[in-house]
Amino acid sequence: MIKPHGSSVLKPLYVDDDHIRKNLLEEAEELPDLLINSAAAANVVMLGGGYFTPLEGFMSLDDAICVAESMHTSDGLFWPVPIFNLTDSIDKIKGANRIALRDPNIIGNPVLAIMDIKNIEFLSTEHINNITEKVYGTLDSNHPGVYVFKSLGRYCVSGSLQVLNFSYFESEFRGTFRTAVEIRKEIFELNWKTVVAFQTRNPMHRAHEELCSTAMERLNADGLVIHMLLGKLKQGDIPASVRDSCIRKMVELYFPANTVIVNGYGFDMLYAGPREALLHALFRQNMGASHLIVGRDHAGVGNYYGGFDAQTIFEEIPKNSLDIEIFAADHAAYSKKLNRVVMMREVTDHGPDDYIILSGTRVRELLSQGIELPAEFSRPEVANILMDYYRSQ
């Protein structure tokens, strides 16, 4: 089975001993506390679940700058995106060595983790702009990832963590949220060797189905993990619970039995294009996947990235950076000529009018107007779930 990134074993930061966790929760009530933002809370969840192995907590400013500029921490670990705890106010934690981190996403702000502070550092405008440009490739605040990052705060609070729960993901997505520890264990028990991961923040339509089936066939894979993002998206994106229902229905009806695992992870979308594609690959390696499907405009938004930048970046990093491999997929669409979904670069005799392609915006428009999606674009059972959701809005 593929090894975790930068380690011989997975390193989840969640405290799984009930007695120790209970004592830590009691201790936390007496500690200075910090109400963190959603982005930091998502990082805590990922660190807790082992997805960010081998990190021991939040990065210092030096590490974050190294990562932004060279995609390595100061001690040489390959890492594509800074893992920050940024805040605007440090008044309650000045002088503290050990603090409680409180969850912004649950009423009452319960304790999410305990942190041993290494440094509290101020980020200058130059720091913010440098990191933003390196990670997102733009300073444009119309970019949703840039907008969020620039709003997180100027103080970088770094240090090691003891994670005490997985926020709202455990209760709201009880049948879907899984840690890297749990997924790796399931893959091991299934004795899968070649494992394909598929990242999604959208419902799966026929093109996505074809990408997964093609990757499994060409890699002679033992299984597929459809791994959906459960955290915060941009306005207008379809909620995780609806996406979950769509994906499970598709798997039930259109994939061979016992070849697919459907689950999700607790992270907020960055929309960082190529850099985020590398992060997606890294934490899929940690969960036990040998391959990640990387398609057109993976983790992108708008026109900020080239269509296949998220694939070519894997060719630009040193070869020993990651053990996981990518399945480089083309844009897929339904061919009216061949009456099936195809990868567009593989049918050279087709023109634009030979395909049925709908943008996400057009899909939302059709559904909101009560118009059925074409059968060539979406399986009818999936389209019905989406239609019911839009009718309820």
Instruction: List, by residue number, the catalytic residues.
Output: 201-202
Cα–Cα distance for residue pair 211/320, rounded to 1 Å: 27
What values do phi and psi take at 285, rounded to 5? -60, -45
Tokens matching residue 116 = 């041993």
34: Cβ contacts below 8 Å, ≥ 6 apart: 87, 90, 92, 93, 99, 100, 101, 102, 115, 157
Cα–Cα distance for residue pair 192/244, rounded to 1 Å: 23
Length of the chain equals: 393
Cα–Cα distance for residue pair 208/210, rounded to 1 Å: 5
Sheet containing strand 332-335, strands side by side:
340-343, 332-335, 355-356
Amino acid code (one letter) for 260:
V
Cα–Cα distance for residue pair 209/340, rounded to 1 Å: 12
For the chain, how big is the Rg over CA atoms in Å?
Answer: 21
Using the structure block, give the residue that is written with the tokens 């992060």.
Answer: 279
